[in-house]
């Protein structure tokens, strides 16, 4: 989470396209509205909050 007084530098929405198990992690494929795909490796606790078709927001703070 980010500090409520400081907005993140970049925010984008992504649709969860796939969740695939890996050794001790899960590979999550996300796609933004322009069709750009991003893959992340996440742990079990975060994977439990995701489902294919969900829309998630990510931010990059520099």
Domain holding 15: CATH number? Answer: 2.40.50.140
Q: How far from chain centre, in Å, is Cα 25?
A: 14
Number of domains in the chain: 1
Q: How confident is the model at residue 57 (pLDDT cuts 50, 70, 90)?
A: confident
Pairing of strands 10-21, 55-60: antiparallel
pTM over 0.75: no
What percent of the chain clears pLDDT 70, i.e. is strictly above it?
79
Q: Is residue 33 part of a domain?
A: yes
Angle formed at CA 25 by CA 21 and CA 27, multiple of 5 degrees: 55
Q: Establish if 32 belongs to a structural domain.
A: yes
DSSP 10-40: EEEEEEEEEEEE-SSSEEEEEEETTS-EEEE
User: Would 2 be classed as within a structural domain?
Assistant: no
Q: How confident is the model at residue 23 (pLDDT cuts 50, 70, 90)?
A: confident
41 belongs to a structural domain: yes
Q: What domain range includes position 33?
A: 10-60
Which of the 8 DSSP states describes residue 58?
A: E
Confidence (pLDDT) at 8: 55
Question: Could you tell me if residue 5 is inside a domain?
Answer: no
């Amino acid at each position: 989470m980010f500090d409520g007084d400081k907005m993140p530098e970049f925010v984008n929405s992504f649709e969860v396209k796939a969740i695939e198990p890996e050794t001790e992690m899960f590979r999550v494929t996300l796609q933004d509205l322009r069709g750009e795909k991003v893959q992340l490796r996440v742990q079990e606790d975060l994977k439990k909050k995701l489902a294919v078709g969900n829309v998630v927001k990510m931010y990059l703070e520099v």
